[in-house]
Amino acid sequence: MQGDCRSVIMTDLLEDFETKKDTIQDEVERHIKKRDEANTEAQKYAKIRDDLNQQTHEMREKAKGKIAEKNELIDKIKVLREEKEAHYKNLSELKKKLRELKAGIGVGTEARDLKAREKELQYLEKRQQTTELKKEEENKIITDIRRLNNEIKKAKVNREQELLKNKDIKEITDQINEERTKGEEYKKHIEELSDRISKLSDEINSDLQELDEVRRNADENHEIFIKHSQESEKEHAAFIKAKTDLRDLEKAIYAIKNKTKVTKKKEKESELQEKAVALYEKFKAGEQLTTEDLLILQKAGFL
């Protein structure tokens, strides 16, 4: 009776363990699935992060190149401005020298006549502006002003042409014209470089803003990568624990099954022993035994 009770308990325990085994097996599969899903997500965001980091590196190098170019242009403009300043100083000296040469030459009748016309023009312009005149007087003054302007211009042209016949004046005038041309070239070159610097500054500011945005995006994806990586590690740890629990439970199930076999074997042996004892008593009492009875006695060790 005690053996039957023990057998029932072992059977119930085995059924309970088998049920738990199925539950833990499902848990193992669930943790594997969640771990792999989290790992897949982590790898996805890791790739996005790495691509963005590569992009920030390229953008940073591009911005550094533009900054270097801008600095080079600033240094170049500094040199050009110094050269321009020296150039205009030289031009000023040439103009001064030309004035001195012209002053030394321009003392004749034509020069005095030109000055007289210029004084007369100044007088008429002042009179027109400050005196109340009749219509006829004002028209005459306007006509005289126009005439004097034309005469002065013509006289100056003639005077310049005459002065250019002087070798020294012509040489200095040519130098001045040449220096003026160079001065315009300096101005134009500096303006072009200044425009390029301004454009580079705008591009650098825009590039750096875009770089900050891409870097921020990379950091955000890195945070998501960390989140999924931690989730994957958590699920892997849970998987290991469930796998260990499953292995321990399988060992327990094996032990119960093995013990049940041993118990049943012992119960059969006990039964056999009891039958053999009863048969042996019959044998001693002179009762006739069957072949099967003899085999039981032999199996129990009585014969």
* pLDDT computed for residue 91 by the predictor: 86
* pLDDT computed for residue 33 by the predictor: 94
* pLDDT computed for residue 235 by the predictor: 94
**Tokens, residue 290:** 């069957």
* pLDDT computed for residue 2 by the predictor: 43
d(CA 234, CA 262): 42
* pLDDT computed for residue 24 by the predictor: 86
* pLDDT computed for residue 144 by the predictor: 79
Neighbour-count burial of 279, counting CB atoms closer than 10 A to its CB (0-12 exposed, 13-18 middle, 19+ buried): buried
* pLDDT computed for residue 8 by the predictor: 57
Residue 109 has pLDDT above 80, yes or no: no
C-alpha angle 51-56-60 in degrees, rounded to nearest 5? 150
Task: Give residue for tokens 């469930």.
Answer: 242
Residue 202 has pLDDT above 90, yes or no: yes
In percent, the amount of the chain with pLDDT more than 70 equals 77
Q: How confident is residue 170, by pLDDT bands cut at 50, 70 and 90?
A: confident
d(CA 47, CA 151): 85
Greater confidence (7 vs 118) lies with: 118
Residue 115 has pLDDT above 70, yes or no: yes
C-alpha angle 216-219-220 in degrees, rounded to nearest 5? 90
* pLDDT computed for residue 197 by the predictor: 96
Say if CB 166 and CB 101 are below 8 A apart. yes
Residue 149 has pLDDT above 80, yes or no: yes
Residue 15 has pLDDT above 90, yes or no: no
* pLDDT computed for residue 79 by the predictor: 94
d(CA 242, CA 24): 6
Residue 171 has pLDDT above 60, yes or no: yes
Say if CB 214 and CB 56 are below 8 A apart. yes
Greater confidence (3 vs 121) lies with: 121
Residue 285 DSSP symbol: T
Greater confidence (269 vs 157) lies with: 157
Q: Give mean pLDDT, residues 141-166.
A: 76
* pLDDT computed for residue 266 by the predictor: 62
Q: Give mean pLDDT, residues 285-289.
A: 68
Greater confidence (76 vs 255) lies with: 76
Residues in Cβ contact with 70 at an 8 Å cutoff, skipping those fewer than 6 apart: 197, 200, 201, 204
Q: Give mean pLDDT, residues 218-243.
A: 94
Q: Give mean pLDDT, residues 252-263.
A: 69
Q: What mean pLDDT is reported for the chain?
A: 82
Residue 208 has pLDDT above 90, yes or no: yes
Residues in Cβ contact with 11 at an 8 Å cutoff, skipping those fewer than 6 apart: 260
Say if CB 232 and CB 35 are below 8 A apart. yes
Task: Give residue for tokens 């049943």.
Answer: 264
Return left, alpha or beta for 132; rule: phi > 0 is left, psi -120 to 50 is alpha, else beta: beta
Q: How confident is residue 218, by pLDDT bands cut at 50, 70 and 90?
A: very high
Model confidence over 58-77: pLDDT tens digits? 999 999 999 999 999 999 99
* pLDDT computed for residue 30 by the predictor: 93
Domain made up of 2-258: CATH architecture:
Orthogonal Bundle (1.10)
Say if CB 41 and CB 228 are below 8 A apart. yes
Q: Which of 19, 35, 42, 21 has the alpha carbon at shortest distance from 240?
A: 35
Residue 190 has pLDDT above 80, yes or no: yes
Q: How confident is residue 265, by pLDDT bands cut at 50, 70 and 90?
A: low
d(CA 166, CA 151): 23
